[in-house]
Amino acid sequence: MTNHATAYETGAATSWQDALLLAARVLLGAIFVQSGFGKLMALGGFIAGMESQGVPMATIVAPVGALVEALGGLAIVLGAWTRLAALAVAAFTVAATLIAHRYWDAAPDAMKMQQIQFMKNLAIIGGFLSLVASGAGRFSVDGWRARR
């Protein structure tokens, strides 16, 4: 019975794979599109925030990071250059996590919230690595280009 159930589950997952990949891309990418374009529209504040956290060359790093976040998120939502975009945004998320969510250095009253944010970002990085492994699926720019 286990083998039959496994075959059914595998078949169901396979038949829904492209729709699930589309949902995963939209859910993962949307927050980066919103946040990245928000940072680009208020770049001075983003730079100041990075400088206050001791980020070297913040005037260069901030706009590059905001562009990677916004355009990488958009590429993921659209499924365009998905594996490359997922790697880039995962790297951005690693850097952002190590800069902004250092819970081990946080004040005691902020430590728990920073730890939650840190762990949330680890989960997001895992989602991006899944997209690197799987690709965008059929319902994507990458899928459309592969069919041409």
CA–CA distances in Å: residue 56 to residues 89, 99, 115, 133: 20, 11, 24, 33
Query: Per-residue pLDDT tens for 120-137?
Result: 999 999 999 999 999 999
What is the reported pLDDT for 72?
Answer: 98
Q: Closest by alpha carbon to 65, among 81, 49, 52, 83? A: 49
> For the chain, how big is the Rg over CA atoms in Å?
18
pLDDT per residue over 84-124, tens digit each? 999 999 999 999 999 999 999 999 999 999 999 999 999 99
| pLDDT of res. 38 | 97
The torsion angle over the Cα atoms of residues 99, 103, 108 and 113, rounded to 10 degrees, is: 100
Average of per-residue pLDDT values in the chain: 92
The DSSP output letter for 136 is -
Q: Does the predicted TM-score (pTM) go above 0.85? A: yes
| Phi, psi values for residue 146, rounded to 5° | -70, -30
